[in-house]
Amino acid sequence: MWIYEKKLQYPVKVSKCDPRMARYLVEQYGGADGELSAALRYLNQRYSIPDKVVGLLTDIGTEEFAHLEMIATMIYKLTKDATPEQLEAAGLGTHYVNHDSALYYNNAAGVPWTAAYIQAKGDPITDLYEDIAAEEKARATYQWLIDYTDDVDIQDSLKFLREREIVHSMRFKEAVEILKADREQKKFY
């Protein structure tokens, strides 16, 4: 189904060890508006969406997994050389005790990921508006993360991810218009 190339969608560089920033990036790893939630939402919704736009959900859902991989790489690079004391100072002490350096799907406050984060109503227009909102919330979060670090390398990767959220939102808006036009068109049998 997929062809795997052992490279990220966009290069991830990190200038320094920064567990504090890693803690905030976890929001896009396992938070309500993060990449895991988006990927699962879109790949689930495609089963009840008209064929005219099903490919869009499949493509974007798959790309969200690539973004999840980028976030995981950033978190790993930001914490790989951190001492337990640095992790504790960054608010990651309980994470370290529970998971060592392993990634875990939770938000920045440490709340574990839940399927309640994803939505599927079964009405294509409703689901697409939900998707637009999800992309806009992720875009806002990426902007706040960009504002929160002085690491230009991390900012570069985050800017790429922020721009992809904008593109996804635009594509979902196009899909809404396609489905609205299709719904209004007379059907001849």
Three-class SS state of 50: coil
Does residue 177 have a known ligand-binding role?
A: no
Q: Which of 165, 174, 177, 184 is catalytic?
A: 165
Three-class SS state of 5: coil
Gyration radius of the chain's alpha carbons: 18
DSSP collapsed to 3 states, 113-176? CCHHHCCCCCCHHHHHHHHHHHHHHHHHHHHHHHHHCCCHHHHHHHHHHHHHHHHHHHHHHHHH
Query: Which two three-digit tokens encode residue 30?
Result: 């396992």
CA distance 25 to 161: 12
Q: Which of 63, 64, 95, 130 is catalytic?
A: 64
Does residue 67 have a known ligand-binding role?
A: yes
Q: Which of 35, 63, 95, 130 is catalytic?
A: 35
Are residues 37 and 134 in contact, defined by beta-carbon separation less than 8 angstroms?
Answer: yes
Q: Which of 63, 95, 130, 168 is catalytic?
A: 168
Catalytic residue flag (residue 88): no
Catalytic residue flag (residue 85): no
Catalytic residue flag (residue 64): yes
Does residue 64 have a known ligand-binding role?
A: yes
Q: Which of 27, 63, 67, 95 is catalytic?
A: 67
DSSP collapsed to 3 states, 168-188? HHHHHHHHHHHHHHHHHCCCC
Three-class SS state of 24: helix
Catalytic residue flag (residue 135): yes
| Residue list for the binding site for Mn(2+) | 35, 64, 67, 135, 168
| Residue list for the binding site | 35, 59, 64, 67, 135, 168
Question: So which residues are the catalytic ones?
Answer: 35, 64, 67, 135, 165, 168
| Residue list for the binding site for Ca(2+) | 59
